Structure 1
Amino acid sequence: MSKTLVYLLFLTVYANANAGVPQEQKTAKDTGIELYNQFKAISAIPYLKVAAEGGDDDAQYYLGEAIRKNKRYIDEEAQQAYQDSAKQGNVYSMIRLSQIDNDLCSAMSNCPESERTPKEWLEVAKDTASKGAAQGNGESMYLMYELSGDKTWLKKSAEHNYPLAQYLLATEYKEGADFFWLPSSRANAVEHWMKASAEGGYPRGMMNYAEVLYNKKDLEGFRNWTEKAAEAGYTEGVFGYGYSLSGKYPEQGFPLDLVKSYALLSLLLELDGGGSAKDAAEYVLPKIKEKMTQLQITEAEKMSSVWKASHPPLSFFPFKLSR
């Protein structure tokens, strides 16, 4: 074999090897965030480390979060992950670093050294977010709200179609924030923003909009958005849709489908990292199983596998910034 061919072969092998690294990191990041969103922070850490070491600022942020939630405070490893992320412009990490004085590590007097003071990180976060907001970025406007507490930013973010902000604004109105002349005006505002959040693809918004429609006696709309929330992988949606198919709430108008009910509720058994979804599923599944034949159970198990392979992973959709 000539030297030229050897060299070309080497380049091909080298290129293919390097091409696989970003994909490996992306897969690790996706898996890590999936586990984190299922409250499995400890299991998420090894995957997030792979992506974080590749320089992904979002993975670095989630790595810091997973470590912090596992340890209950910011240790040196979490601090480094946040800093690596913040230096790439990640405002979420900057916010965490600005809050370290309120962290448990401060009470224990063992907070790790930082490249900037909390006040300096706060200023950098505000500067970065304000630049994004000036360009019309809805998420940056939401971050300005988190940084300042000024609800004007939350409204601006909602108006710029950021679904989380729309959900939070609707929730605040629902809980009594701001002044409305008439109760119907408040209800209309809640419905408007929750609908916008749902249509923007935010699963929490979907479930809350479904509740709004149920209270308005729009059962078809309620069923539609409950199913959409389940299809998005939201644990509350999966449980609500699955349990309703068992015939538990006939007034909701869902068709009786024990096979699909059992299939969906079985998915929740993997959620052993926290939350009540697994316990709720374990409680109702035996009651549904009693009404099923063995053939139906086998069919449900197959359906469960198909659903898992064809839908987004289960998620509690926790807020990216703890609230």
Structure 2
Amino acid sequence: MRFPYCIAVILLMALSQAHAQFSAEQQTAKEQGLVLYNQFKTISAVPYLRAAADAGDSESQYFLGEAIRKSKRYITPEAQSAYEAAALQGDIYSMIRLAGNADDLCVAMGNCPEGRKEPREWLQMAKQHAGEQAANGNAESMYLMYELTADKKWLEQSAENGFALAQYLLGVEYKEGGGFFLSPSSRTEKAEHWMRASAQGGYPRGMMGLAAILIEKKDLEGFRQWNEKAANSGYVEGVFGYASYLAGEPSNYGYSLDFVKSYALLSLLLELDGGGGVRRDVEDILPNIAEKITPEQIQTAEKLAHEWKATHPPLSFFPFKLSR
């Protein structure tokens, strides 16, 4: 009996190690897929997200659905299946996407397979799940209730409970004229309050939103601080702005000229060929900067770009998880 038992133990250990290795590979695939997705390279992201989604990861399933939907411009059967797999694990984002899929062919034809939920059922489920979690103090679910109901009170509650995206959206809302305020100054103060909360919460869009408010106030030091923080987060808008200012474009924000660092950061953005128009903008100004530095300085810039990429988060447009 001893020999078979030993074999069984060895086999069990081998299977455990294989499972751990598989899980690590799936996690790597998910991370790479999300990097590509966040760079608007949705077609390239699909195989990586599919590998992680097939392992049952609900977030990967949702983003697989999103990547396919965005690349194909509609919800394909594979995207539908990915959303449904995530939704059945409680992913509210997927429920919301399914609730809005009025173009589902089987719904239109009235011949959906037995057990297949219709959009109205997904909507009801999304509201139930988000409502229950919001009642338990989940700030992100409060934001999702706002998305589901368009009731601004939910957005305010989410912001007050610390959800950085909601804080950013509320700051934008107030800055663009939403809400009621007794004076323009009180509106401006409240917009800055929520944008600062979002920035301090680590949300890159909030960082750039706060930088924009500060430049209007002629607070150049604050503007530079938050612009650089956004760049350090990998936010494309922050990197492009910071790099441009280092080259003196425009030259009135108080940056010290650093053509080498400007060239390095702008050259990083050349990998963004999936959309967004940034690569085109970089190609317009990078040759002008190259004319101002020596070949040796360009080599230094290339080394600096390599070091920056190794020590900073991947470049990202930080698209909204629910497309707006």
TM-score w.r.t. the length of structure 2 is: 0.95
Kept in 2, the 8 Å contact 1:229–1:237? The answer is yes
1:94–1:306: structure 2 CA closer, same or farther, 3 Å change rule?
same
| Equivalent-residue separation in structure 1 for 2:199 and 2:163 (angstroms) | 11
| Equivalent-residue separation in structure 2 for 1:110 and 1:261 (angstroms) | 56
1:120-155 deviation per Cα after TM superposition (whole angstroms, max 9, x unaligned)? 110100000011101111100000000000000000
| Equivalent-residue separation in structure 1 for 2:111 and 2:49 (angstroms) | 21
Equivalent residues in 2 for 1:205-284, closer than 5 Å: 205-284=206-285
| Equivalent-residue separation in structure 2 for 1:280 and 1:232 (angstroms) | 20
Aligned to 2:315: 314
Tell me the C-alpha RMSD between the 2 structures: 1.8
1:105-128 deviation per Cα after TM superposition (whole angstroms, max 9, x unaligned)? 56x968994711111110100000
Aligned to 2:157: 156
Secondary structure of residue in 2 paired with 1:180: coil
Q: CA deviation at 1:249?
A: 2.5
Structure 2, unmatched stretches of 5+, are none
Q: CA deviation at 1:215?
A: 1.1
1:47-81 deviation per Cα after TM superposition (whole angstroms, max 9, x unaligned)? 00011011111100000111111111111111100
1:24 partner letter? E
| Equivalent-residue separation in structure 1 for 2:37 and 2:98 (angstroms) | 20
Q: CA deviation at 1:3?
A: 5.2
Kept in 2, the 8 Å contact 1:94–1:124? The answer is yes
Secondary structure of residue in 2 paired with 1:251: coil
Structure 1, unmatched stretches of 5+, are none
| Equivalent-residue separation in structure 2 for 1:138 and 1:68 (angstroms) | 27
| Equivalent-residue separation in structure 1 for 2:142 and 2:110 (angstroms) | 30
Q: CA deviation at 1:22?
A: 1.4
1:39–1:112: structure 2 CA closer, same or farther, 3 Å change rule?
farther
More deviation in 13-22 or 78-87? 13-22
1:202 partner letter? Y
Aligned to 2:69: 68
Secondary structure of residue in 2 paired with 1:100: coil
| Equivalent-residue separation in structure 1 for 2:109 and 2:219 (angstroms) | 55
| Equivalent-residue separation in structure 1 for 2:112 and 2:265 (angstroms) | 47
Equivalent residues in 2 for 1:1-323, closer than 5 Å: 6-101=7-102, 103=103, 113=112, 115-323=116-324
1:70-102 deviation per Cα after TM superposition (whole angstroms, max 9, x unaligned)? 11111111110000000000000000110011x
Kept in 2, the 8 Å contact 1:242–1:264? The answer is yes
Kept in 2, the 8 Å contact 1:74–1:111? The answer is no
Kept in 2, the 8 Å contact 1:79–1:112? The answer is no
Q: Percent identity?
A: 58
Q: CA deviation at 1:21?
A: 1.4
| Equivalent-residue separation in structure 1 for 2:23 and 2:166 (angstroms) | 32
Q: CA deviation at 1:300?
A: 0.4
1:233–1:135: structure 2 CA closer, same or farther, 3 Å change rule?
same
Secondary structure of residue in 2 paired with 1:168: helix
More deviation in 68-77 or 285-294? 68-77
Kept in 2, the 8 Å contact 1:194–1:206? The answer is yes
**How many correspondences in the alignment?**
320
